[in-house]
Amino acid sequence: MNGWMTATDAAAWLGVSRKTLYAYVSRGLVQAMRDPASLRSNHYNMLDLRRLVDRKMQRADLSQLPASALSFGLPVLASKITLIEDGRLFYRGHDAVTLATTMTFEDVASLLWTGTPGKSAPMVGARATQPAGLTRALTPIQRMVIILANAKFLEIEKRDTSVGVNDRILRLLCSSLTPRQRRGDRLAVALQRHFAPNHPKASRLFDALLILCADHELNASTFTVRCAASTLLLPSVAVAAGLCTLQGERHGGMTQRWEAALRGLQKPTDIAHVLRTVQTGAVGVVDTATSLPGFGHVLYPAGDPRATLLLNMMAHTFDYQKRWKMVRDLIDAGRQISGQAPTIDIALAALAHVLKAEKGAALGWFALGRAAGWLAHAREQADTGTMIRPRARYVGLRPRKADPFLLGQDIRADW
């Protein structure tokens, strides 16, 4: 999600007039930035807007909560797993960027699930058993959903321990990306052998990628997983619900959007066309409300630290490759157009492009990493012993004391 809004959208999001919005700016409560596409209009910092909404809701009657309450608004449930604060991402109190440079994905998965880092135990054991009908014509996400719907796996899951279930789920999800696995490999090594066989050191890059994708607080897919887990669904079914949600255009769809656009990057002169393709997106119209989708994030006003680390690691790993140089130049051009830094969606798509990975690989990597966080949230939610069931604030037609439609009707109990 981009970190800036137009005046009209910002005022509507706050539930105030544009005059009040301008007053917030003059008081230093909201940062304004000149729209590079129009010298007569400004964009407004969404992080500042979110803070104002939070303050407003803390003082307001619950019946008067604005529609933005569930859109980067106040927290809706308690969690000990992930904190996003001051432009940084933390897993159980540990900086995720630091974890990505010092630990393996297995270590961090254990941290998310139990609060204690693991010992890098290999997750890839015997060759994973997959249901019939899985073909490479399906995207990795589609194969993941089919694998988790395997009845034999569900029978095993019911008899397994919780951590054992988590290990098996991640291993099966990885098998949708890397059908030929070696016994004893960690997941990042399995990904490196399949997608970057000529770059042995890229396993460190895949570890970082999976770790940085592992969790991001209560985004749409994670909240879906928690809702599913609160009804006591099996963990694999809750993860499948997350996989379905992740594919939405406003969620993991941004990764898919960039991955598809980068397929058109074959020579340096394609850069302008690729950027315009991203701007037009599925609707075929240039998005003027956001300078360039994929650049800028409301929670990271100084830049997405996940993307920064991954792109730096890619520069170190693929410095002399032509495809990487073109991607690097494209990202630099995007920075100039938007005035903002790239998000992790672009970093994932860039890696898929450099490695000439199969269609959907970028979102598949995202999903494999995020599944570790989903499993942590599923367990945390199940342990609360409660079901997520919020109330709606009704804004429709109010019923009358006596409904004129029923007056004078002869109601008979003959059904």
DSSP string, 82-146: EEEETTEEEETTEEHHHHHHHS-HHHHHHHHHHSS---------SPPP--TT--TTS-HHHHHHH
317 in Cβ contact with 199 (< 8 Å): yes
Report which secondary-structure segment, H or E, holds 5.
Answer: strand 4-6
The residues facing 223 across adjacent strands are none
Average pLDDT value for the chain:
83
Please give the radius of gyration of the chain, using alpha carbons only, rounded to the nearest integer.
23
Mean pLDDT to the nearest integer, 219-236: 93
Give the relative orientation of helices 140-148 and 235-246 as an angle to the nearest 10 degrees: 160
- More confidently predicted of 236 and 27: 236
Q: Which of 380, 303, 377 is nearest to 347 (CA)?
A: 303
Instruction: Look up tokens 């994932």; give the residue.
Output: 348
pLDDT at 30 over 50: yes
State pLDDT tens for residues 298-317: 889 899 999 999 999 999 99
Q: What pLDDT does 289 receive?
A: 43
Query: What is the dotted CATH code of the domain comprising 95-384?
Result: 1.10.580
Q: What is the pTM of this model?
A: 0.79
Residue 116, burial from CB neighbour count under 10 angstroms (0-12, 13-18, 19+): exposed
pLDDT at 157 over 70: no
Query: Among residues of the chain, what percentage have pLDDT more than 70?
Result: 79
Mean pLDDT to the nearest integer, 264-276: 92
- More confidently predicted of 414 and 242: 242
State pLDDT tens for residues 172-202: 899 899 977 777 789 999 999 999 999 988 9
Q: Return the amino acid letter for 135.
A: T
pLDDT at 93 over 70: yes
In order of 7, 22, 132, the CA distances from 26 in angstroms are 14, 6, 63
pLDDT at 400 over 70: yes
Q: Extract the tokens encoding 373.
A: 């966080």
State pLDDT tens for residues 258-269: 999 999 999 999
pLDDT at 282 over 70: no
State pLDDT tens for residues 112-132: 999 988 764 555 554 455 555
81 in Cβ contact with 215 (< 8 Å): yes
Confidence of residue 54 (pLDDT cuts 50, 70, 90): low
Mean pLDDT to the nearest integer, 193-217: 95
Mean pLDDT to the nearest integer, 43-59: 74
N-term to C-term CA, the chain: 52
386 in Cβ contact with 271 (< 8 Å): no
Q: What pLDDT does 150 receive?
A: 75
Helix and strand numbers (H, E) in the chain are 18, 6
